[in-house]
Structure 1
Amino acid sequence: MSAPHPHTAGAPDVPGTAGAVELRCGGRAVARYEYRPQLARRESPRPYLHPVRTLGGTAVTELRPADHVHHLGVSMAVPDVGGANFWGGRTFVRDRGPVELDNHGHQSHLGWPELREDGFTEEIAWQRDGRRLLTERRTVTARALEADRWALDFTTELTNVCGEELSVGSPATNGRPGAGYGGFFWRPPVGPRPPEVFTEDAEGEEAVHGSRAPWLAMATDAWTLVFAGATEDTRRDRWFVRAAEYPGVGSALAWDRRLPLPAGRPVVRRVVTGVADGRLERAAAAEVAARLTGKEAAR
């Protein structure tokens, strides 16, 4: 295990205390990772990245916005793991709708197998009422792309360790059509008008929400985010997209059917996100996506 780098912040590595590390890219601070946040149980406490910034310093994440206080920058948030809510807020119950339940889980930092200036590998326990359901190995890396853009590489490896069959669900699998959210989720800030969202061959929230596309972009005048699935399993997942009501992009683990989590067999997903200053048009976003997944030569 690498020693903590000099940008580690917060209290010592003691359960129940706050703690954060800073991610740097090319010598610049680009993100802060809160690995022991102090949050209410109803928000399903979990590690998150906020603020995440462009190389020019513009914030591209939001924390606990008034419209959804359980949206936490960039995080792994899942509304139904064997009935436990790791998303926060109300739980969608078939034939009842959103209901306040005492079923919130939390993700607890266990340690750093590796910790560097540009990223880390972290071990995380997904627990409910003191019982561990999953162990996650999370790897996050910041890497340079060009002078005005960088990439956040986020890999999650979830392993069922509870000794019983588990599966991941969503409001959609529980009866709310189109609400298949849960997994990697990025909450950008609200701007003066809704952001544009597009893929290589579709444009607009209605067209891209629920689509399977190798990459998806969300753009404003100030910033552009280009999300790319970096494994075959990730590319098979559908995109959850919000733009008009609030800005949000997620890679959905359980869009219309539950995802089994067999005991002892890891489920791996990897999303790489290009973070750029200013607005990128479709051609430029496609070039960023190709670099994110190492497919430039194939284009």
Structure 2
Amino acid sequence: MTDDSTVLRVAGRPVGRYVTRPELPARLSPRPYLHPVTTLAGTAVTELGPADHAHHLGVGVAVPDVEGHNFWGGRTFVRDRGPTELDNHGAQRHAGFRLRDPDGFVAELRWVAAGAELLRERRTVAATELTGTAWALDLTFSLTNVTGTTLTIGSPATNGRPGAAYGGFFWRARKEAEAPRVFTADAEGEARVHGGRADWLALAGSTWTLVFAGATDATRRDPWFVRATEYPGVGSSLAHHERLPVAPGDTLVRRVVTVVADGRLDRETAAALVRRAVSA
């Protein structure tokens, strides 16, 4: 790992490190990530390269299928074959910071595969204090097709694996002895929440809670990808039922705001903090 990383701070306290140029093997689809991310009390709420999924890298943007190229890491789901080791991994290359402050940054990235640049990304991240025990991580990514042809974004679900429409924003959370509680404003449990749309979704561990919210109309239309029992992770689904086309020169934009709180929040507190975070 190089020294070209940045530390996010809230009220003077470090709450996250953004690593720009990790030294990772190609099969993990190297990409910038945030890890560790912590609560204000210092509890880590991310994991990096865990044994169950070595390609899960804290908080970031990962897509398993961009016109057949894997920007997620690990095996590729192939229709009628299942998860398959392929030499099709891309990489997100940090191209520099346009802005870098203690409470946030704007970074430029190039998504490269098979020797060619496919997408150019602008990633904007901001950290905001909400209360003495909660802060918000605001992450926006804009992906522009820099090729001369339409690119389509897919997922294992669009390639034949039901229930696996992951791809986009993804947060690999802290794994504990017990699975975290998963809930929205009107649903409880992984089975009811996974694959559905909700204004916000909470993941509550033993001493911490993460509350995720889509902060634009387009982001709110993406179903949530949720895991709790197998491992704790939450992400968006850019390609849920069908592949998502991005025409030459077009830009896809998504914004997810995440409340990072100490303690196990109830529904009312989670909803109140999300409203404050999204409007901040």
* TM-score band, normalised by shorter chain: over 0.9
- What's the offset of the Cα at 1:221? 2.3
From 73, 91, 101, the counterpart of 2:86:
101
- Change in Cα spacing, 1:203 to 1:99, as seen in structure 2 (3 Å) is same
From 221, 225, 228, the counterpart of 2:213:
228
Answer yes or no: is the 8 Å Cα contact 2:106–2:122 preserved in 1: yes
Percent identity over the alignment? 63
The answer on 1:165 being equivalent to 2:150 is: yes
Answer yes or no: is the 8 Å Cα contact 1:51–1:73 preserved in 2: yes
State the secondary structure of the residue aligned to 1:145. strand
> For 1:10 and 1:147, how far apart are their aligned partners in 2?
33
**Which residue number in structure 2 is paired with residue 245 of structure 1?**
230
Q: Following superposition, which runs of at least 4 residues in structure 1 exceed 6 angstroms of deviation?
A: none
The answer on 1:152 being equivalent to 2:141 is: no
Report the AA paired with residue 96 of structure 1: R
Q: Flag structure 2 segments of 5+ consecutive residues without an equivalent.
A: none
Answer yes or no: is the 8 Å Cα contact 1:215–1:227 preserved in 2: yes
State the secondary structure of the residue aligned to 1:280. coil
Report the AA paired with residue 110 of structure 1: A
TM-score norm. by structure 2 comes to 0.98
TM-score norm. by structure 1 comes to 0.92
- What's the offset of the Cα at 1:96? 0.8
State the secondary structure of the residue aligned to 2:96. strand
> For 1:125 and 1:220, how far apart are their aligned partners in 2?
35
- What's the offset of the Cα at 1:129? 2.3
Answer yes or no: is the 8 Å Cα contact 2:147–2:249 preserved in 1: no
Q: What is the correspondence of 1:178-217 to structure 2 with a 5 Å cutoff? A: 178-217=163-202
> For 2:77 and 2:273, how far apart are their aligned partners in 1?
36
Answer yes or no: is the 8 Å Cα contact 1:228–1:292 preserved in 2: no
Report the AA paired with residue 271 of structure 1: V
- What's the offset of the Cα at 1:292? 2.0
Answer yes or no: is the 8 Å Cα contact 2:64–2:73 preserved in 1: yes
- What's the offset of the Cα at 1:255? 1.0
**Which residue number in structure 1 is paired with residue 72 of structure 2?**
87
> For 2:8 and 2:174, how far apart are their aligned partners in 1?
20
> For 1:38 and 1:10, how far apart are their aligned partners in 2?
8
Report the AA paired with residue 267 of structure 1: L
Q: Flag structure 1 segments of 5+ consecutive residues without an equivalent.
A: 1-8, 12-18
**Which residue number in structure 2 is paired with residue 114 of structure 1?**
99
- What's the offset of the Cα at 1:23? 0.7
- What's the offset of the Cα at 1:10? 4.2
- What's the offset of the Cα at 1:189? 1.5
